[in-house]
Amino acid sequence: MRFAFNHILAPTLPLEAFFAQAKALGATEVEIRNDLPDVVGTTAPEAVRAAATKHGVTIISINALYPFNVWSGDLPARAARLADYAEKCGAKALVMCPLNDGRRVALESAVESLQALKPILKERGLTGLVEPLGFPISSLRTKRDAIAAIEAADGRDVYKLVHDTFHHHLAGETRFFPEWTGLVHISGVADPSLSVADMLDAHRILIDKGDRLENLSQIRRLLAAGYAGPFSFEPFAGEVHALADPMRAAKESMDFVEKSL
């Protein structure tokens, strides 16, 4: 398996330390963010590229362009700026998330956005990683609908999916699309008192034997179907961020997953 680390795993860790520790733990692929932590808003892209080169890691994505499926207001300008930053820092892709506040958005709106984003991404050599969010309030919950929008936008050469094990479970999806998948986000939920409908980002921890999201089953299915890309740890829970050494905890979760498979 190709494991990767998303910076939200250890958001208080400075960028260079994050890169160095990822490499030391055997992961040469990383994701940076524009929220938690806001690397994009605080660090020059040239400095990010230099740090990645120094520590021998590849920046597979920047998280995230939001809400990608509502092409209005300042989104076009933000998209161009984020794509510029990605190109300059050496990132390979932008993660793109849909509106997630309970308002409905027609699939045609996602198609419009994907069409508008195509030249922005292509001119900079970037992949757009569309990540459906499985929350009940999400405007784009399933990978099936995301693929329909990509195909309608004639975007096969620009777009891939993020298969997020948390969102796959929340959306009740059963189909896997390995040929469309460019990145897998992995995290677990262990709290036995939660209903699936009540699961939130704040409940997302590292994968262990108490996991309720069927991560191991999902990973097996993806690997068996031919997916060969990275599996990136993306725990949002404050309890993970507060650990004395969240990177070491992630390594223990890596070992658990590998041994369990």
Please write the tens of the pLDDT for every residue from 163-188: 999 999 999 999 999 999 999 999 99
CB 52 within 8 A of CB 23: no
CB 168 within 8 A of CB 218: yes
Please write the tens of the pLDDT for every residue from 81-94: 999 999 999 999 99
Rounded to two decimals, the pTM is: 0.98
The residue to which tokens 């198609």 are assigned: 111
Tokens of 227: 């997916």
Please write the tens of the pLDDT for every residue from 127-173: 999 999 999 999 999 999 999 999 999 999 999 999 999 999 999 99
Which CATH number is 2-260's, of 3.40.50.300, 3.20.20.120, 3.30.2320.80, 3.20.20.150? 3.20.20.150
> Quick one: residue 57, left, alpha or beta (phi over 0 = left, psi -120 to 50 = alpha)?
beta
Residue type, 206: L
List the domain boundaries for the chain.
Answer: 2-260
Distance CA 35, CA 123 (A): 25
CB contact burial 78-115 (16+ within 10 A = b; e otherwise):
ebeebbebbbebbbbbbbbbbbbeeeebeeebbbbbbe
Nearest to 187 by CA among 160, 171, 169, 161: 169
